[in-house]
Amino acid sequence: DMKVTQMPRYLIKRMGENVLLECGQDMSHETMYWYRQDPGLGLQLIYISYDVDSNSEGDIPKGYRVSRKKREHFSLILDSAKTNQTSVYFCASSSRDEQYFGPGTRLTVL
């Protein structure tokens, strides 16, 4: 069963704290993505990873960094989180052009 998992599902942090969002996939896809979703803005691409240690900025990378040390895992890191990073974060992996999405992480930064 093809699956993308995300942990945690819900997270509350204080401004200035570090945040780690984890994503896993069991399909051996080379390409993985991190998006954030905000009302009225749709899905915005933060980072894309083409394989282990091969990452590229998306449309809104500022304030974020990523790590991909294994093909099946892709992490999103917020160093010193800001209140405007409150959002729902989605991870996806792709085969050809079709993307498979995780269930999302709802992050609140107070």
Partner 1 sequence: AQSVTQPDARVTVSEGASLQLRCKYSYFGTPYLFWYVQYPRQGLQLLLKYYPGDPVVQGVNGFEAEFSKSNSSFHLRKASVHWSDWAVYFCAVNNYAQGLTFGLGTRVSVFP
Let me know: does 31 contact 94? Beta carbons within 8 Å: yes
Alpha carbon distance 2, 68 (integer Å):
20
CB of 26 to partner 1, least distance (A): 15
The DSSP symbol for 41 reads: T
11 is a contact residue toward partner 1 (CB under 8 A): no
CB of 78 to partner 1, least distance (A): 20
Let me know: does 51 contact 93? Beta carbons within 8 Å: no
Let me know: does 20 contact 73? Beta carbons within 8 Å: no
Site for partner 1, residues 14 to 33, rule: CB under 8 A: 31, 33
Among the listed residues 67, 75, 86, 94, the single contact to partner 1 using CB under 8 A: 94
CB of 45 to partner 1, least distance (A): 7
Among the listed residues 11, 27, 45, 60, the single contact to partner 1 using CB under 8 A: 45
